[in-house]
């Protein structure tokens, strides 16, 4: 008989998926892991009872977090990914031939191992790319000792519960800024503002204290219920967020990416914020 998975993220609303087939379920040193199949979403990954990613709609999340900062920056060569153990972010970042160095810092080696086996469409072999340095560590500890600087830092974290909690603090964002080149860009997964307004408000408060340009951009990912989700954006250069459509068109064309969600128009429009989101960003 099929089993239903009830997400445990919210106290008063639940997104349930019917699990047709359970592929993997156990606990690692850091969290509980579950991969199963659903008819509409394909293979789905839960960590500590929270839905992380699904085969059907992961392209929206990963394209938005990888290509928007890289193509807004315009000459990025190095990327730091914190989290992202399923490998989808790495896959998208490595599509850029201009990126010659990627460091990925993931706390839980079990997530990488079992996603390589049970969610192989996410990483598609990218963990074997010679441009990658994979570090198994807490992202916060890594940054505290990191002497290197990157053009782009991507925080592909779980929600601020369990091991992911440390990745939502002002100290952590300060450490991210220290690891950025002076014209670098930090992007963070910041949940769904309609259901998690404080998550965005707190991150934006910290970003405003650190960056000349602090804002967020949006995309609706069906897996993350409650409307559009927010990606935090921090940079000391205001220009990347205001890149003109003509320049974006040229950059997308030159990058030669085959994308399913993003295009120059969607890229530019993703920075337009509804009023209730703008209020969270501003205070």
Pick one of 37, 77, 129, 138: the residue that binds ligand SAM (CB under 6 A): 138
Binding mask 10-49 for ligand SAM (x = CB under 6 A): -------------------------------------x--
- Picking from 156, 170, 155, 221, the residue whose alpha carbon sits closest to that of residue 192 is 221
Residues numbered 234 to 253 that lie near ligand SAM (CB under 6 A) are none
Residue with tokens 């769904």: 192
Give the separation between CA 182 and CA 166, rounded to whole angstroms: 24
196 binds ligand SAM (CB under 6 A): no
* CB distance 40 to 28 below 8 Å: no
Binding mask 102-121 for ligand SAM (x = CB under 6 A): ---xxxx--x----------
Q: Which of 57, 86, 151, 156 is catalytic?
A: 156
Question: Is 11 among the catalytic positions?
Answer: no
Reported as type and span, the H/E element at residue 113 is: helix 109-118
Give the separation between CA 19 and CA 90, rounded to whole angstroms: 27
- Picking from 208, 143, 136, the residue whose alpha carbon sits closest to that of residue 171 is 143
Reported as type and span, the H/E element at residue 175 is: helix 170-178
Pick one of 92, 96, 146, 163: the residue that binds ligand SAM (CB under 6 A): 163
Q: Taking the complex as a whole, how short is the minimal distance between the CB of residue 242 and ligand SAM, in angstroms?
A: 26
Q: List, by residue number, the catalytic residues.
A: 156
Residues that bind ligand SAM (CB under 6 A): 47, 52-53, 61, 82-86, 105-108, 111, 138-140, 156-158, 163-164, 166-167, 189
């Amino acid at each position: 008989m099929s089993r239903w998975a009830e997400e445990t993220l919210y106290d008063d609303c639940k997104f349930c998926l019917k699990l047709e087939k359970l592929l993997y379920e156990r606990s690692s040193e850091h969290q509980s892991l579950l991969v199963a199949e659903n008819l509409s979403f394909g293979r789905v990954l839960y960590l500590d009872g929270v839905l992380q990613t699904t085969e059907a709609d992961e392209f929206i999340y990963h394209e938005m977090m990888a290509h928007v900062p890289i193509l807004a920056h315009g000459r990025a060569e190095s990327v730091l990914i914190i989290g992202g153990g399923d490998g989808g972010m790495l896959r998208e970042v490595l599509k850029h031939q201009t990126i010659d160095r990627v460091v990925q810092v993931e706390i839980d080696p079990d997530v990488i191992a079992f996603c390589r086996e049970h969610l192989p469409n996410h990483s598609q072999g990218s963990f074997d790319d010679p441009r990658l340095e994979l570090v198994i560590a807490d992202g916060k500890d890594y940054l505290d000792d990191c002497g290197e600087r990157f053009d782009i830092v991507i925080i592909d974290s779980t929600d601020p519960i369990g091991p992911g909690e440390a990745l939502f603090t002002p100290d952590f964002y300060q450490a991210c800024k220290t690891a950025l080149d002076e014209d670098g860009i930090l992007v963070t997964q910041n949940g769904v503002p309609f259901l998690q307004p404080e998550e965005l408000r707190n991150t934006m408060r910290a970003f405003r204290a650190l960056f000349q340009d602090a804002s967020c951009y949006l995309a609706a990912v069906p897996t993350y219920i409650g409307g559009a989700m927010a990606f935090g954006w921090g940079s000391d250069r205001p220009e990347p967020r205001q890149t003109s459509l003509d320049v974006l068109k040229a950059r997308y064309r030159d990058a030669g990416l085959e994308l399913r969600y993003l295009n120059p128009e969607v890229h530019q429009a993703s920075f337009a914020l509804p009023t209730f989101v703008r209020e969270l960003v501003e205070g």
